[in-house]
Amino acid sequence: MTTSVYPLRAFADNYIWVIRGGRNAAVVDPGDAAPVLEHLKAERLNLSDILITHHHGDHIGGLPELTAEFNVPVYGPAKSHIHHLTHTLREGDVVNLPELDLSFQVMESPGHTLDHIAYYGHGWLFCGDTLFACGCGRLFEGTAAQLYGSLQKFAALPADTAVFCAHEYTLNNIRFAKAVDGDCAPLLKRETAEAAKRARDEPTVPSLMQLERETNPFLRCAEADFRRMLRAKKIIGDDDPVRAFAALRAWKDKF
Ligand SMILES: [Zn+2]
Per-residue pLDDT of 61-114, as tens digits, reads: 999 999 999 999 999 999 999 999 999 999 999 999 999 999 999 999 999 999
Give pTM, 2 decimals.
0.98
Cα-to-centroid distance, 118 and ligand 1 (Å): 12
DSSP tag of 248: H
Per-residue model confidence (pLDDT) at position 10: 97
Cα–Cα distances in Å, from 228 out to 175, 225, 234, 244?
Answer: 21, 5, 10, 10
Instruction: Say whether pLDDT at 11 is over 90.
Output: yes
Cα-to-centroid distance, 253 and ligand 1 (Å): 15
Residues whose beta carbons lie less than 5 angstroms from ion ligand 1: 56, 129
Looking at CATH, the fold of the domain delimited by 3-169+202-213 is given as Metallo-beta-lactamase; Chain A (3.60.15)
Domain ranges of the chain: 3-169+202-213
Cα-to-centroid distance, 183 and ligand 1 (Å): 31
Cα separation, 197 vs 137, whole angstroms? 22
Cα-to-centroid distance, 56 and ligand 1 (Å): 5
Cα–Cα distances in Å, from 111 out to 4, 42, 128, 130, 233?
Answer: 29, 37, 12, 7, 26
What is the band of 217 on the pLDDT scale with cuts at 50, 70, 90? very high
Phi and psi at 45, nearest 5°, equal: -105, 150
Inter-residue contact 228 to 236 (CB < 8 Å): no
Cα-to-centroid distance, 165 and ligand 1 (Å): 11
Cα-to-centroid distance, 218 and ligand 1 (Å): 17
Per-residue model confidence (pLDDT) at position 1: 79
Cα-to-centroid distance, 1 and ligand 1 (Å): 32
What is the band of 118 on the pLDDT scale with cuts at 50, 70, 90? very high
